[in-house]
Amino acid sequence: MKIFLLGGTKDSTNIIEHIKENYDAFILTTTTTEYGARLANEAGSDDTIARPLLKDEITEIIKKDDFDILIDATHPFAEHITHTSATIASELKMPYIRFERPTTNLENIDTSHIHYVDSFDDAGKLIASEFLKGNVLHFAGANTMADIVKHISVERFYPRILKVKSSIEKCSELNIDPEHIIPMTGAATKEENIDLIEKYGASVMITKESGEIGGVIEKIEAANEKDIAVIMIKRPEIDILNKNDVVSNLNELDYKLKKLFLKNRL
């Protein structure tokens, strides 16, 4: 079977490895960066596309190369592409699976330092009104920086991002000092987060509710230890998704894939 995989996350590389080990499948993985494509290739993807794709481009590729399944394993906050992929699958009447990592289990975690907000704009406003001293660590990606720095001085702002061309250009456009850019190579440990808090004199940390695989617990624990605030952006709800199409672990993915592979053989 031919699988069109929207990737660029740790979840997607885990899925590639799992499928290639357990199924006879060809996988094309799309990511928005060369870095993401390299990780997909290393995980075993048969082919990759390393740039953002428009809806019509995705549709054309799926129809032209006769893909059997569309799997969306993009980030929980990639609301637009998830909406687009679900729409494409519906229009093409093809099997669709949305892999959505579980929310973070904070049952045994001290959450007293967390301030929940609905958007990055709200995060910027909250910092501007309540956290006037100390610097701001931004652990939420390059695409969300603008909504923060329109409310606070860039002199206080330290983003942890992938040092790829597009992200560096965004920093330049926002007049963020190159010395403030913290290179990202994956989820940080608690100790690494503590080091960053101390090094940059941070009083606030911004993060998405991106699940345990995104290192949320390690961020919270570091903030707790250093007594700084965590501004947590709530995960968006995507109304177009059919709950029956959503899986949150590899066992649930297997259940759907086995039915689809069996159906394809009949």
Go through the chain and tell me how many residues it has: 266
The percent of residues above 90 in pLDDT, for the chain, comes to 76
Q: Which H or E run includes 94?
A: none
Strands 135-139 and 202-208: parallel
pLDDT band (50, 70, 90) for residue 187: confident
DSSP code of residue 179: G
Can you tell me the mean pLDDT for 151-169?
Answer: 92
Instruction: Give the CATH class of 2-102+237-265.
Output: alpha beta
Closest among 260, 202, 207, 197 to 231, alpha carbons compared = 207
Sign of CA dihedral 129, 235, 168, 138: positive
Cα gap 157→169, rounded to integer Å:
16
Strands 157-161 and 182-183: parallel
Whose tokens are 């390393």? That residue is: 50
Residue 266 pLDDT exceeds 60: no
Comparing 131 with 104, the larger pLDDT belongs to: 131
Count other Cβ atoms within 10 Å, centred on residue 222. Answer: 26
Closest among 204, 182, 194, 197 to 136, alpha carbons compared = 204
Helix, strand, coil in percent for the chain, rounding step 5 = 45, 20, 35
Residue 53 φ then ψ, to 5°:
-115, 140
Using one digit for the tens of pLDDT, what is the confidence trace for 108-125?
A: 889 999 999 999 999 999
Instruction: Give the CATH class of 114-233.
Output: alpha beta
Using one digit for the tens of pLDDT, what is the confidence trace for 72-97?
A: 999 888 889 999 999 999 999 999 99
DSSP notation for 219-250: HHHHHHHHT-EEEEEPPPP-TT--GGGEE-SH
**pTM here?**
0.77
For the chain, give every residue range classified as CATH 3.40.50.720: 2-102+237-265, 114-233
Using one digit for the tens of pLDDT, what is the confidence trace for 7-23?
A: 998 899 999 999 999 99
Residue 107 pLDDT exceeds 80: yes
Per DSSP, the three-state class of 153 is coil
Output the pLDDT for position 106. 82
Count other Cβ atoms within 10 Å, centred on residue 122. Answer: 17
pLDDT band (50, 70, 90) for residue 265: low
Question: How confident is the prediction for the chain on average, in pLDDT?
Answer: 92
